[in-house]
Amino acid sequence: MKVKIKALILALVLAVTACGFAACDRGNEGGGADEYGNMRGSLNIMMFDGGYGIDFMKSIAAKYAKKNPRVKIKVSGTVTPSSEIALIESHTASNDLYFMIDNMCKQVDLENLLDISEVYDYVGPEQEKPLKERMNSAYVDACRANDGKFYLLPWSNSQEGLVYNKTVMDEYFPNLQLPRTTEEMFETLDTVKANSNVYAFCYSGKNDYLPYLFLPWWAQYEGLDAYWDYYEGYYRNESGERVFSKHAEVVDQAGRLKALEVLERLCKKSNGYQHRYTEDMDFMKMQLAFLGHGYNQDEKPSLFSINGEWLENEMDFALEEKPQDIRFMKLPVLSAVIDKTPSIEDDATLRAVVDYCDGVSATLPDGVTAEDAAYIDSCRRMTSSVAQDHTVGVYSQSRAKELAIDFLKFLTTKEAGETYSNYFNGLTLPYGAYDSVTDDASITPFLKSRFETKENCIPIFQKRTPVLVYRGGLAAYREKFGVKIFTGELTAAQLVDKDNYFHDNWSQMVRQSGLGSLL
């Protein structure tokens, strides 16, 4: 009897061990190239099922399977990516490729994701350059790990920001000019507010999308280098030297407060710019209200809102029922940036410089230096992007590693890019392999405005790869502020004070990141 019990225990131990080494594959037979170089086997893909859905990936997978008939691909969706990442961390994951939206840098540290640098070096069919030279350099830098290798690849080219309802504008404000600076933005909002039939602005307090404005306005004021240095913990001292923050000095960047002051003025309920039900609406209900479907029997339309390129796909049913002409607009330049540009003395001059940067006027205002104009041009091109949060990685215990990497290479090709673009009426993947505008594809006015306003853009986002972020806990802000800034519970200054946590815990955060020697 004891022998049987011991044998049973041994069998259970071996089964658990085998499950660990096989990544608990649950039926995945594995896959890769045969002796002739032909791909075969099965590939399991887990994908975040959000605004983009997962059907586009099924279409791309079908294209790949057609080229590789001995390959079977299963695409599954999840609305809880954190749960899937937890499975990766516990080595109980059952998929090979994970298209997620949460930060997976910790999984790189834990060696739970495969090195996919060869995908970045890949030169696809009809391409002359490797992927890393075709992609926006900001995305490449965002995915480069601390060891110089790549473990994550963006699967979205998403860009977000201010949008406006042209249908509403044409009906109520046909002569209204889109604002170039934040001061001009408030003049525009005052004009709209004076018309009691229209809300000037509409956003969701429950699902906080205000960072789509906060981050680029902050970056405009500080400049790109200082903005990116924030996440690394570096700043410029009084001598102009780039040094590590021993006492959380980097948290005191003035641009954070300047950006929040604009948001406070924009969002505070008592200022009268926002939809009356801002604090009650989640993002989906806010989108419906913005698209003319009303909320809680309030049918008043809104002129401006915050959204992303997924809008038409996510809200196709609402647009079919009630067509609206929605357009992207360039983010107004933070008026406070004149603190950084000595030759631009007031907002009127700043607006004229923006016109020059936009190609509206051929000459700079008298006295404005080329250096200051270049600074404003950089500001004008900054736009929020969540591409660095939409990343895919290969599970390191996958039985189909070779197949997974080959699929990622296919994902970066023109064929996959065109499939994606056809599915999303002109949207493009971030790989520079297919351009729907150059190809003269039929794209909607909404997406046309996306390409026009985001051309040659500078993506701005929360950097995820620094160890101070994913180990130490440094972030752009401590808590969501959409409702509290609307109700007036928190002012801009109080929101900044919330980040005293970083000051109070800086030494611990730095040591937790493995950077204690820099203190």
pLDDT 10s per residue in the chain (519 long)?
333 333 444 344 334 333 333 334 444 567 777 766 788 999 999 999 998 999 999 999 999 999 999 999 999 999 999 999 999 999 999 999 999 998 899 999 999 999 999 999 999 998 999 999 999 999 999 999 999 999 999 999 888 999 999 999 999 999 999 999 999 999 999 999 999 999 999 999 999 899 999 999 999 999 999 999 999 999 999 999 999 999 999 999 999 999 999 999 999 999 999 999 999 999 999 999 999 999 999 999 999 999 999 999 899 999 999 999 999 999 999 999 999 999 999 999 999 999 999 999 999 999 999 999 999 999 999 999 988 889 999 999 999 999 999 999 999 999 999 999 999 888 899 999 888 776 666 788 999 999 999 888 999 999 999 999 999 999 999 888 999 999 999 999 999 988 789 999 999 999 999 999 999
Q: Could you tell me if residue 451 is inside a domain?
A: no
Residues 425 and 298 in one domain: no
Tell me what pLDDT residue 440 has: 61
Strands (E), 329-394: 382-384, 391-394
Distance in angstroms between the alpha carbons of the first and the last residue of the chain: 62
pLDDT at 19: 39
Element (H, E) at 73: strand 71-78
- Vertex 80, ends 79 and 86: CA angle to 5°? 150
DSSP state, residue 365: P
> What is the reported pLDDT for 158?
87
Residues 494 and 256: their CA atoms lie apart, in Å, by 12
Strand pairing class (302-308; 199-202): parallel
In this structure, are 149 and 185 located in the same domain?
no
Task: Look at residues 400, 429, 444 and tell me which one is the last residue of a structural domain.
Answer: 444
341 and 423 fall within a common domain: no
Say whether both 222 and 285 belong to one domain: yes
Same domain, 92 and 237: no
115 and 172 together in one domain: no
Helix residue ranges, H only, 382-465: 401-411, 414-423, 445-454
Let me know if residue 511 belongs to a domain. Answer: no
Domain span holding position 334: 160-384
Report the pLDDT value the prediction gives residue 441, as an integer from 0 to 100.
62
Same domain, 260 and 150: no
pLDDT for res 498: 81
pLDDT (0 to 100) of residue 135: 94
- Asked if residues 33 and 39 have their Cβ atoms less than 8 Å apart, the reply is yes
Domain harbouring 246, CATH code: 3.40.190.10
What Cα–Cα distance (Å) separates residue 295 from each residue in 158, 204, 291, 381? 27, 12, 11, 34
Residue where one domain finishes, among candidates 337, 366, 384: 384
Res 3: pLDDT:
37
User: Is residue 9 a part of any domain in this protein?
Assistant: no
Measured between alpha carbons, how far is 379 from 333 in angstroms, rounded to an integer?
A: 6
User: Do 153 and 173 reside in the same domain of the chain?
Assistant: no
| Domain-embedded: residue 44 | yes
Do both 433 and 352 map to the same domain? no
Structure confidence at residue 436 (pLDDT): 74
Q: Tell me: do 225 and 289 sit in the same domain.
A: yes
pLDDT at residue number 36: 63
pLDDT at site 361 = 96
Say if CB 384 and CB 213 are below 8 A apart: yes
For residue 1, the model assigns a pLDDT of: 39
Q: Is residue 474 part of a domain?
A: no
Kindly report the length of the chain: 519
pLDDT at position 35 is 65
**Residue 489 counted as domain residue:** no
| Strand 39-48, strand 97-100: pairing | parallel
Spatial contact of 301 and 268, defined as CB atoms under 8 Å apart: no
For residue 502, tell me if it sits in a domain: no
Q: Are residues 297 and 168 in the same domain?
A: yes
**What are the structure tokens assigned to 250, written together?**
């980097």
Are 47 and 134 in a shared domain? yes
- Whether residue 484 is contained in a domain is answered as no
Number of domains in the chain: 2
Q: Is the pTM of this model over 0.75?
A: yes
Query: Of the residues 365, 384, 403, which one is the last residue of a structural domain?
Result: 384
